[in-house]
Every structure is written in structure tokens, then in C-alpha cells.
Amino acid sequence: MAATPQQTQNAENVYNTIIKMLDSINFNYETDTSGDMFMITLTVNGDDLPMKVFIFVRPEREIVSLYSPIPVKVPDDKRVEMALAVAMANDGMIDGSFDYSLSKGEIRFRLTESFVESLLGQEQFRYMLGVSVNTIDRFNDRFLMLAKGMMTLDQFSEAISK
Amino acid sequence: MPATEQQLRMGEKVFSTICNMLDANGFRYETDTSRSDPMITLSLKSDIFPVKVIIFVRPERELVSFYTPVQLKVPEDKRVEIALAVTMANERLIDGCFDYTLFKGELRFRITAGFIGSLPDQEQFRYMLGFSESAVKRFTELFLMLTKSVMTLEQFYEAIAK
């Protein structure tokens, strides 16, 4: 279903608020407003690994989604184990979650916020970015160690429960 | 870190907005405001299975979380298979996620919204309630069929890909 003019206007407002937030903290980013949604791409330096972040503003659904792929390709023989690790990581998380493609061995962090009848401020998007970076930083090296056989699932469970 | 006065006031406003939304839609619910994170509990009508929703307003984090437990206890011999199914389900979701406690065999749907520097409207919470209900209704039967071996993991994948 196509977005209404009001939904498109709301999405533009949200998009502009995110851009202002990124400008205020001097982040470099790229934008793509040519499609039926607004996209912003940026790279954030975490404690361990750089993180690529994609932000989609979807007018017809009135949501903003932040996706960040984890730079780990899970080998075939570790894919079931990684599914259990992702379940452990998500369980107890307060906001956001890791999506895991079993068939591709790919993991990404996802955090979504709705702007249905709501005006979201820059603080909200700063929070989204901050919580995403913190959560990814907490887990990405552990996912990597598990994928490389440098950590067992039991060790992963112990490490994240601390 | 305890909530500031401002956060507590915002938390109270958010709590009232959710209650107003539930009243406006004729829902019956119970509240517990004695907690540091005030809670609302309600049951949604369903022909197939009961859907219970537990809402927490967390002033110190400026977040609202809706949790919907899936009425299912996964037997031990199916726990790995359900973990794989949960990753498949989460990958399909645009908002919220299923949390899975592997060692207990318990599942719940979680959707969260922030109210940092913004006051969400009733519509925002109606969206969260509706999304929770539809996600849980869509997947519970499939998770159940998988645990009862009425469905294989491949069939589960096909069913959710439709």
C-alpha cells in the first residue's frame, strides 16, 4: 500500500530530524531518497570493529528501522550453534534484536521505532544509534570467536551473562 | 541509576496514555504502579489461544516494553529446532522479535518504544499492541506444530515465507 501524503510528510520530518542529529554529532553519512523510503548509510567506529549502519525511514509503515550487519560470515558447521548463540543474545535484551539468516550465515542488529502520530526528537534517534553501537560492541567479537571456534557455546553463554 | 523527576513525570504521562488507549478500545486490564517500572497486564480475545500482554513503562530508561508470552513449553528434544525456527521468524519481522529462553523452552514476543525527548501518542501504543497480537497469532500455531512434530522445520520455513 502506498504512503498517504501525510505519511510521506511525516517521514520527511523524521528523516530531517535524523539528519540534523547526525550533523550535530559530526557524523559522515550518505543518503538515498530516490526510492519509496528514505535511506541513510553511515559507518560508526566501535570498540572492536567498524560498524556499518543503515537507517530506513518507511513512510507507508510509519517506522524507522536501524540495521547493522555484523561482519561475520558463519561457516556451515557453526550455523546451528550460532542460532543458539543469537537466541541467547536476544533473550534478556531490552531493545533491539539480532536477526540471523541460517541459510546465509549472516547476522545483523535491528532496532525499530514507530512514528505513528508521534513527533520523535533528535534525542530518540541519538538513543537508537547509541544503544545499537553498545549492543553490537558487546556481542560482535563474541559472535566472531564462536564462528572461528575460539569460544564454545558454554563460554559464550557465560560471557554474556556477566 | 534511578529515574530523575523529569523521567518519572514522563513515565507517568506515558502510563496514562497507554491506559487511555486501552480504555478507548474497551480493553480490560490490571495495573501495578507500586513497582519502579509500572506494569499493565491484559488479555486479548482469541479464538485459538489466549494472548496475554504485559506492558512495562521504564522511566529510568525512557522505554515502554510490550511482552507477549507464547503459550507453549518447548520439550527438551525440540529446543534446538525451535531456536532455529525463532531465528527464521525474527528474520521475517520488521519490528519486535521473539525472545527464546533456551534452557526453559519458553518464548515471548517483545516490542519496545522509546520516549526520550518525545511523548508518544495513543496511536503509537495501539500500533504496538496490534503488532504484538498479529505476530503472536501468526507464529504461535506454527511453533506449536513444530514442537508437536506435526510440522518439519522446512515446512515451518515455507509457511512463514508465504
pLDDT, average across residues A70-76: 95
Q: What percent of chain A has pLDDT over 90?
A: 85
CB-based contacts of A67: which residues, under 8 Å, 6+ apart? Answer: A53, A54, A55, A56, A108, A109, A110
Q: How close, in Å, is residue A15 to chain B by CA atoms?
A: 16
Strands (E), chain B: 29-32, 39-44, 51-58, 63-69, 97-101, 106-114
Residue B46 has pLDDT above 80, yes or no: no
Confidence of residue A21 (pLDDT cuts 50, 70, 90): very high
Q: Which residues of A touch B (CB under 8 A)?
A: 61-63, 65, 80, 83-84, 86-88, 90-102, 110, 112-114, 116-124, 126-128
Contact indicator for A123, A114 with CB cutoff of 8 Å = no
Q: How close, in Å, is residue B156 to chain A by CA atoms?
A: 13
ipTM for the predicted complex: 0.92
Q: pLDDT of B101-159, one tens digit each?
A: 999 999 999 999 999 888 888 999 999 999 999 999 999 999 999 999 999 999 999 99
Chain B residue with the nearest C-alpha to that of A113: B113
Q: What is residue A129's predicted lDDT score, i.e. its pLDDT?
A: 95
Q: What is residue B113's predicted lDDT score, i.e. its pLDDT?
A: 94
Chain B residue with the nearest C-alpha to that of A100: B87
Contact indicator for A65, A157 with CB cutoff of 8 Å = no
Q: How close, in Å, is residue A81 to chain B by CA atoms?
A: 9
Best A7, A17, A90, A98 residue to mutate vs chain B (most B CBs within 10 Å):
A90
Q: Cβ of A117: how many Cβ atoms within 10 Å?
A: 14
Best A102, A111, A125, A157 residue to mutate vs chain B (most B CBs within 10 Å):
A102
pLDDT, average across residues A2-15: 92
Q: How close, in Å, is residue A23 to chain B by CA atoms?
A: 18
Q: How many CA atoms lie within 13 A of A49 on its CB side?
A: 18
pLDDT, average across residues B84-106: 96
Q: pLDDT of A131-147, one tens digit each?
A: 999 999 999 999 999 99
Give SS3 for A13.
helix
Q: Do A120 and B118 touch (CB under 8 A)?
A: yes
For residue B10, which residues of chain A lie inside 8 Å, CB to CB? none
Q: Helix, strand, coil proportions of chain A in percent (round to 5)?
A: 45, 25, 30
List the grid coordinates of B21. Answer: 488507549
